[in-house]
Structure 1
Amino acid sequence: MNKAGMRMGLFSKLFLAGLLAFTMAACDGLPRGAAVQSEIVKGADQPEADFAVYPVTKSFLPSVQHWPETGIRRYGWLSRDHGSSAQIIRPGDTVNLIIWDSSENSLLTIPGQRTARLDGMRVSETGTIFMPYIGKVRIADRTPDSARQLLQRQIDPIVPGAQVQLSMAEGRVNSVDLVGGVNAPGIVPLPDQNFSVLAAISAGGGVRPALANPQVKLVRGSSIYQTSVSRLYEDPALDTRLRGGDKVIVEEDRRYFLSLGAAGQESQFTFNRDRVSALDALSIIGGVADSRANPQGVLILREYPSSALAAGQRGPRQQRVVFTIDLTTSDGLFSAKNFHINSGDLVLATESPVNNVRTIVSIVGSAFGLINVASAAGN
């Protein structure tokens, strides 16, 4: 080997040593797509830590199930009760009367006619209508047949032998508003007092098929109730009956969770069912990247309200919480299946530490290749 080749070999060795030292020093700064688990949970065991870490295991699940829910507020629901199967007259309804009278000197009809029509009589706020020769008669809270019998009794002393016929049209107080989420929203009259939520949705043409996990919101006065359409389908006891003035809103489930890191997809996902488990969430995001992810380091980041830390409240030690899931053990998999995702949670698939080693080896291998090329050139 000539002197130039020797100098080149010495330079190559020095370059390799420097490259190795630089590579090891810059290990933490290597390009990668996600954090390593140790970076996220670092410092959790320190007294000044502002977050807490909880492994998701069988023994931990009973505790977390009693912690407050986070994210979009969820409302309760009403169980079904039973009402009258008949129509009930309410203030605001419209009543139409036909009075049949065959007497020659009728007070209600003109010669040659046998009927007197009193159409479009609106039931007042006090529940009354005005009848000629009788005055105000309260008919609210009665069935149409009961109201007809009452009017018949009232008119008998004045027009003996007359017959009263009554029909009604429901007004606003005897109707519900089907606000949206169905094919034909609008005002739906109550045909009876057993008219249910699903009956109203059916009257509106059914739920729009584009809605993901559609939710039913019932607004009654100042109270709000909510459940999913699928629950109403599965449990008839939840198909509660409606009252006049109710508002029924069908909308897409607004709850969501996020995914980042070495996941199949990095995006925002809506809930596709009432309860989404950690395993459901992993399936929705397309799992974790086989070549990059650490299967022992799937993290779920969640932030609780300050009220969750109040005295007497069962909850976490800190508002910020990191739940860790190990997909390489049976306990981790089963526990993930029973761990519920909350709205706003972040599912983070951390990077495998092995990737850093692979990157270093790749860099070193490339360096050796360059040195060999340089050495061959020097020779």
Structure 2
Amino acid sequence: MRVFTVLAVAAALTGCAALPGDGPAAINITSQDIESEQSVADYTVIKIDSSNIETIKRYRPLAFANQFRGVGNGGSSTLLGVGDTLSVGIWEASPDGLFSDKDGGASTIPAVIDESGSIFIPYAGRIRAAGLSVEGLRQSIQQKLVGKAVEPQVLVTLNQKLSSTAVVVGDVGKPGVYPLPVRNTRLLDLVATAGGARQATFETVVTLKRGNRSGTTRLEHLIDYPENNVVISPNDNILLSHRPRTFSAFGAVKANQLVPFRTKSVTLAEALATVGGLNDNKADATGVFLFRFEDSDLVRSVRPEVASKIAAHTQVPAVYRLNMRDPSGFFLARHFEMRDKDILFVSNHPTAEFGKFLQIIAPLISNYAVVSSVTD
């Protein structure tokens, strides 16, 4: 009778989650209360199935582009500014003119717009240049030379637009301050001008700081998602950092560990294989979970019933669930791509908890048997 008492007490402890474990059971993560009330658990559970895998695959992460939408003037100004370097060519109709040489060619005068916004041209004096276009400055110089030079013709060439610059530092080939040409310069253009990344693109992140705004994305996302390749504005600061990607594996897998990405892309199937697959003695094949902070726009697409509770253009905690007991789960795992800092967790099967329970009560039963034998 005492044996049954011991068993009853131990079973009660098991039901109260008193047994040790390496994480929540599948039923704890996907209970009806938590799935229906996001405010209770502060995360959203998304079941990976054939109805949403294509949406998840095709999603374009544009959080980086959204950070700078409407911020900045969208490129370098077409007007001249302090620090710009120029070349001013002057031709005259007569070989005896002020700027003519013996071969009848033009005189080329280098000029830099000084801190007062002006340049100096012989016989024309100081001429206001800052705030003018190249053509506007050309006309101004030519007008100043009328009556002094013989039918002057002027050509102004912009050499370097040092009044509009951006800084590129970090893991690039040639860090430094780079002038922005009059045409729109995009982020990837400037990274290429600075010599490109020293490390693999999928292991490099780029951070753009513009005023009070800052955004970070993988360098490869500038190519994969062209919307993220934003136009650079004057005074932007760009930092490239080598940041290898990793994911963590916990629970009923054969190796709980931190795993680095070895290739550009790693699928969920490959991630499970890397850690040795599911533990046959413990794993609940219906409870394979992946934890990550997901773009709210994607969560709203695959879980429209909770869309009203999630603000747009934010990051929200999401838990993806995959049923590997269903053969289709293996195909779905092939199409689901891992991301940096993902957490992979496989829950224990209920029978594994029962096995722990037996290990705990085995000494009690054995001691009771010895005591009973001595008593008898």
> Normalising to structure 1: TM-score of the pair?
0.61
Structure 1 188/68 Cα, relative in aligned 2: closer, same or farther at 3 Å? closer
Which residue type is aligned with residue 208 of structure 1?
Answer: R
Q: Kindly indicate whether residue 194 of structure 2 is the aligned counterpart of residue 207 of structure 1.
A: no
Structure 1 38/195 Cα, relative in aligned 2: closer, same or farther at 3 Å? closer
Identify the residue that residue 113 of structure 2 maps to in structure 1. 122
Q: Kindly indicate whether residue 27 of structure 2 is the aligned counterpart of residue 35 of structure 1.
A: no
Whether the aligned pair in 2 keeps the contact of 1:309 and 1:315 (CA below 8 Å) is: no
Structure 2 CA distance for aligned equivalents of residues 349 and 254 of structure 1: 24
Identify the residue that residue 13 of structure 2 maps to in structure 1. 26
Q: Which runs of 5+ in 2 are unaligned?
A: 69-77, 311-316
Matched length? 346
Which of 84, 94, 99 is the equivalent residue of 2:85? 94
- Pairwise CA distance, 1:328: 2.0
Whether the aligned pair in 1 keeps the contact of 2:46 and 2:318 (CA below 8 Å) is: yes
SS in 2 for 1:44: helix
Identify the residue that residue 324 of structure 1 maps to in structure 2. 321
- Pairwise CA distance, 1:206: 2.5
Structure 1 CA distance for aligned equivalents of residues 335 and 268 of structure 2: 7
- Structure ranking higher on relative contact order (CA contacts 8 Å, 6+ apart): 1
Whether the aligned pair in 1 keeps the contact of 2:22 and 2:251 (CA below 8 Å) is: yes
Whether the aligned pair in 2 keeps the contact of 1:253 and 1:270 (CA below 8 Å) is: no
Q: Kindly indicate whether residue 134 of structure 2 is the aligned counterpart of residue 142 of structure 1.
A: yes
- Pairwise CA distance, 1:185: 1.8
Structure 1 34/121 Cα, relative in aligned 2: closer, same or farther at 3 Å? closer
Structure 1 60/210 Cα, relative in aligned 2: closer, same or farther at 3 Å? closer
Identify the residue that residue 297 of structure 1 maps to in structure 2. 287
Identify the residue that residue 314 of structure 1 maps to in structure 2. 304
Q: Percent identity?
A: 21
Structure 1 284/228 Cα, relative in aligned 2: closer, same or farther at 3 Å? farther
Which residue type is aligned with residue 358 of structure 1?
Answer: G
Which of 324, 328, 331 is the equivalent residue of 1:334? 331
Structure 1 195/23 Cα, relative in aligned 2: closer, same or farther at 3 Å? closer
Structure 2 CA distance for aligned equivalents of residues 378 and 27 of structure 1: 30
Whether the aligned pair in 1 keeps the contact of 2:124 and 2:141 (CA below 8 Å) is: no
Whether the aligned pair in 2 keeps the contact of 1:265 and 1:286 (CA below 8 Å) is: no
- Pairwise CA distance, 1:224: 7.2
Structure 1 CA distance for aligned equivalents of residues 258 and 291 of structure 2: 15
Identify the residue that residue 72 of structure 2 maps to in structure 1. none
SS in 2 for 1:159: coil
Structure 1 CA distance for aligned equivalents of residues 342 and 281 of structure 2: 25
> Normalising to structure 2: TM-score of the pair?
0.61
- Pairwise CA distance, 1:105: 8.9
